[in-house]
Amino acid sequence: MNFQIHFDLPIYLFIAFATVALGLAYLMYARVENLSRGRKSFLGLLRGLVIFILFLAAANLVTSLVHFHEKKRDVFLLLDDSQSMSIKEAGIPRSQVIEEILHSDEMDTLRRYFDVVPVPFGNGVLKRVPIDSLSYNQTSTNIASALLSTSEMGMNNGVAFSILLTDGDYNEGGSPVDVARAIQYPVYTVGVGDSTTPKDIIVRQVIPAPVMYAGKKSAVKAIINSHGFEGRTAVVHLLENGREVGNKEIVLPQKGDVEVSFDYTPVKVGTHVFTVSVPPQTGEFSSKNNTASTTAYVQKGKFSVLLVAGEPASDAAFLRRNIEGSQDFEVKLLVQKSGNEFFEKDADEILGHKFDAICLYDFPNTHSLQTLSRIADRLRTTGIPYVYFAGKNFSPAALAKLPRLPIAVQGFQEGEFQVGVSSAASGSIPLSLQPLYTLISENSNFFPPIYYQKTIVVPHPGSVVLAYPVLSGNLLNYPLFVVNPAERSAAFLAYGIWRLQLMSPVSGLSQDFLKDFLKTVLRTVLTSGNQRLLSVHTDRKIYAPSENIRFSSLLVDQSGVPVSSATVDVSLIDDASLESVANFELAPRGDGGYSASTAGIGAGKYTFVAKALQDGQVVGVDSGSVVVAPLNREFLQPSMNAQLLEQIAALTGGKFMTAQEFEKGNFTLDPEMKRPVALSTSHRFEVLTSLPLLGLVILLLGIEWVTRKIWGLP
């Protein structure tokens, strides 16, 4: 019998309920006159069934209907759908070998005993698709993901085994061997391809310098593998954005890697595509792996900073040393000698240079005259970002002559105090200042005492207070550190900042805090006004022409709160023709996230421009670049990786075979595997909430009422 009914009540309660129900029904009809025994029994049975069902409902009986059946066991057929299947051996592509296996007599035999489920894989896993959907054009091979996905699909589902058809050369994801250790059923591996190393030249990797600056010489390296061309010379070409910028002649080894290094000086800031190629050689196995590309971002050279000190002092020396120590900045120093001149003999020449930012320490002060007007004019006419650091010779009158200062001084009390630092409340900090604020707030408790003269200041509109002084444990309501993002200026109204470094071992402050603080302050004023509320990126910098380009973005408001109700439009522009090749909208994903993907496009370098709109207003913009170029990662290892396939088979209890061995019928199975798997499905329902049983009760009561009327009973 294929069905069984299970009750969760003890059998004796079940019998007791039935007995009591029938007994009550008998008593109800026993004294009815002018009714035959047969009719009494029929009506009593109807009433008894109703009472019995009500008893079961009151006891909250749960009933299970179990269906037992058999089905063929599943066999997952993992099919390598990547570009490496286009590699030819003896003129026959590997994809043809797979097709022959799929239509072989051995595969027909397997289908007789099993439900064979094709599962192509490459970049990802395509679950349960027909075999005629194979295209052999996926740009990477992720064997680990394929094994893991089918293992999860097969849990408790009667899987007999898996067959893995691949060349074993994975280039994405984790180790297939690690996944194989946890698989609970055999994996039979069928190797497609030749395991012997062919005669070939492979550009394995292009490695640009970790940091590249425009106008400065950098190294671009390439790792080239050669097999079978011992002593032959070859020319290695370096291209930048498709234009050749260098070449070198090398002697190829018998086998192994050779490193080629190019010296290159980039000119423009931005993303650059570096390609290394070797012309195909006579007798070479494949030319698809003779080229490799990568991207690198070329930065602007070091930011130039003019440091103007009102007097020779320790703070000026520490400012210079730590700004230069960040490696992102170079510093020119001018120290005021008198109200009209600086100590440096070439001060006029220095002041004629173009700088990216200016730092002022104790300048202007009570001694500044013509020097102040020269610096103030520079700040006023250029709009250059600057940071003011107070000193011992603080002068409110002189300070008022600085343009774009984030504060206005309303009072000043002479007298030096030692104060601590407390960060401002976090709720009012805009997104562009949060990195700087976080650095201060996380370290304020470790600040050693620094010097301060009580200064009553009021922040200008648009300025943000990041810290206050703490005197003898009491928070003073006078700003200590203020930034105005719109004016790209900042003011730090305490001095003795050398203490932040020399006293750090005692206070607990990081030894590098001062350097990190100065770098962050300068970067904040340099980039203020360029705050990105919308950030859009692709998950990779280089895509193959056949790949979808995947975009994702995050949109926040000025306080950093995610915005999920906007529309994010992206335009993709070809850098060569300056024409738009795609326009699309990113779909919202919640928490300020948006994403979408485009179909594959032709090789080239592209710029994407994104714009976020909310209620018809632009609330964020961003841009970036992406490169489409032929990728050779599927051809970096042209020979079959038999060792890996043998390991997977051994760890799972399967067997490794070549494609020829599989087709010759060497695939033998334990007869037990061919037996169908016994499965069961059950449906549980509670009597109290079961609509069918409620309908049955109503039906029984209806039949009883109609029968009583027919037989003349009230």
What confidence tier does 77 reach under pLDDT thresholds 50, 70, 90?
Answer: very high
Peptide bond into 364 cis (omega under 30): yes
Instruction: Please tell me whether residue 590 adopts helix, strand or coil conformation.
Output: strand
Out of 46-50, 101-105, 243-247, which region has the weakest mean confidence (pLDDT)? 46-50
pLDDT of residue 455: 87
Pure H helices in 292-369:
314-325, 347-351
Q: Which of 512, 527, 542 is where one domain is finished?
A: 527
Residue 40 has pLDDT above 80, yes or no: no
Do 183 and 239 fall within a single domain?
A: no
Q: Which of 527, 553, 575 is where one domain is finished?
A: 527
Q: Which amino acid is at 390?
A: A
Do 513 and 565 fall within a single domain?
A: no
**What is the rounded average pLDDT for all residues in the chain?**
87
pLDDT of residue 458: 93
Q: CATH no. for residue 671?
A: 3.40.50.410
Environment class of 669 (CB within 10 Å of its CB; exposed 0-12, middle 13-18, buried 19+) = middle
Residue 629 has pLDDT above 80, yes or no: yes
Number of domains the chain contains: 5
For residues 515 and 519, what is the distance between their CA atoms, to the nearest angstrom?
6
pLDDT of residue 154: 62
Element of type H or E holding 523: helix 513-527
In the numeric block, the tokens 């990081």 are attached to 510
For residues 8 and 190, what is the distance between their CA atoms, to the nearest angstrom?
50
Residue 4 has pLDDT above 90, yes or no: no
- Domain assignment present for 305: no
Q: Which two tokens stand for residue 74?
A: 């599943």
Q: Which one, of 237, 236, 240, lies nearest residue 212 by Cα? A: 240
Residue 32 has pLDDT above 50, yes or no: yes
Q: CATH no. for residue 499?
A: 3.40.50
pLDDT of residue 707: 83
pLDDT of residue 684: 65
Q: Which of 157-166, 606-615, 629-638 has the highest mean pLDDT?
A: 606-615
Q: What is the DSSP string of 191-256?
A: E-S--SPPSEEEEEEEEE-SSEETTS-EEEEEEEEEES-TT-EEEEEEEETTEEEEEEEEEPPSEE
Do 121 and 172 fall within a single domain?
A: yes
- Domain assignment present for 311: no
Element of type H or E holding 58: helix 37-58
Predicted model pTM:
0.64
DSSP classification of residue 591: T
pLDDT of residue 9: 63
Residue 174 has pLDDT above 90, yes or no: no
What confidence tier does 683 reach under pLDDT thresholds 50, 70, 90?
Answer: low
Do 343 and 252 fall within a single domain?
A: no
Close Cβ partners of 49 (under 8 Å, ≥ 6 residues apart): 21, 700
Instruction: Give the CA angle between residues 170, 175, 181 to the nearest 5°.
Output: 125
pLDDT of residue 548: 87
* pLDDT tens by residue, 689-703: 667 777 877 888 888
Out of 309-323, 358-372, 375-389, 524-538, which region has the weakest mean confidence (pLDDT)? 524-538
What confidence tier does 591 reach under pLDDT thresholds 50, 70, 90?
Answer: confident
Residue 156 has pLDDT above 80, yes or no: no
Do 453 and 542 fall within a single domain?
A: no
Element of type H or E holding 466: strand 464-471
Q: Which amino acid is at 137?
A: N
Q: How far is CA 679 from CA 71, 73, 128, 156, 547, in A?
A: 7, 10, 21, 10, 41
Do 416 and 498 fall within a single domain?
A: yes
| Phi-psi region at 458: left, alpha or beta (left = phi > 0; alpha = psi -120 to 50) | beta
Q: Which two tokens stand for residue 108?
A: 């027909």
In the numeric block, the tokens 């074993």 are attached to 168
Instruction: Give the CA angle between residues 10, 16, 18 to the nearest 5°.
Output: 105
| Phi-psi region at 590: left, alpha or beta (left = phi > 0; alpha = psi -120 to 50) | left
DSSP E strand boundaries for 288-439: 291-299, 303-309, 329-335, 357-361, 386-389, 407-423
Residue 550 has pLDDT above 80, yes or no: yes
What confidence tier does 681 reach under pLDDT thresholds 50, 70, 90?
Answer: low
What confidence tier does 1 reach under pLDDT thresholds 50, 70, 90?
Answer: very low
Do 562 and 647 fall within a single domain?
A: no
Out of 300-304, 335-339, 457-461, 499-503, which region has the weakest mean confidence (pLDDT)? 300-304
What confidence tier does 64 reach under pLDDT thresholds 50, 70, 90?
Answer: low
- Domain assignment present for 304: no
- Domain assignment present for 308: no
Do 431 and 512 fall within a single domain?
A: yes
Instruction: Give the CA angle between residues 105, 109, 114 to the nearest 5°.
Output: 140
Element of type H or E holding 270: strand 270-277
- Domain assignment present for 33: yes
For a pLDDT cut of 70, what percent of the chain falls above it?
93
Out of 194-208, 214-228, 382-396, 684-698, which region has the weakest mean confidence (pLDDT)? 684-698
The DSSP bridge pattern shows strands 218-227 and 255-264 to be antiparallel
For residues 105 and 87, what is the distance between their CA atoms, to the nearest angstrom?
25
Q: How many other C-beta atoms lie within 10 A of the C-beta of residue 90?
A: 5
* pLDDT tens by residue, 398-444: 999 999 999 999 988 888 999 999 999 877 788 788 889 999 999 99
Do 155 and 53 fall within a single domain?
A: no
Domain range for residue 449?
Answer: 316-527
CA torsion 212→214→215→217, rounded to 10°?
A: 10
- Domain assignment present for 307: no
Residue 3 has pLDDT above 60, yes or no: no
Q: Which of 274, 299, 324 is where one domain is finished?
A: 299
Do 569 and 459 fall within a single domain?
A: no
Do 515 and 402 fall within a single domain?
A: yes
Out of 105-119, 345-359, 529-543, which region has the weakest mean confidence (pLDDT)? 529-543
- Domain assignment present for 655: yes
Tell me the average pLDDT across 516-534.
84
Residue 129 has pLDDT above 70, yes or no: no
Out of 6-10, 140-144, 277-281, which region has the weakest mean confidence (pLDDT)? 6-10
Do 522 and 450 fall within a single domain?
A: yes
Q: Which of 234-238, 392-396, 601-605 has the highest mean pLDDT?
A: 234-238
- Domain assignment present for 139: yes
In the numeric block, the tokens 């035999």 are attached to 109
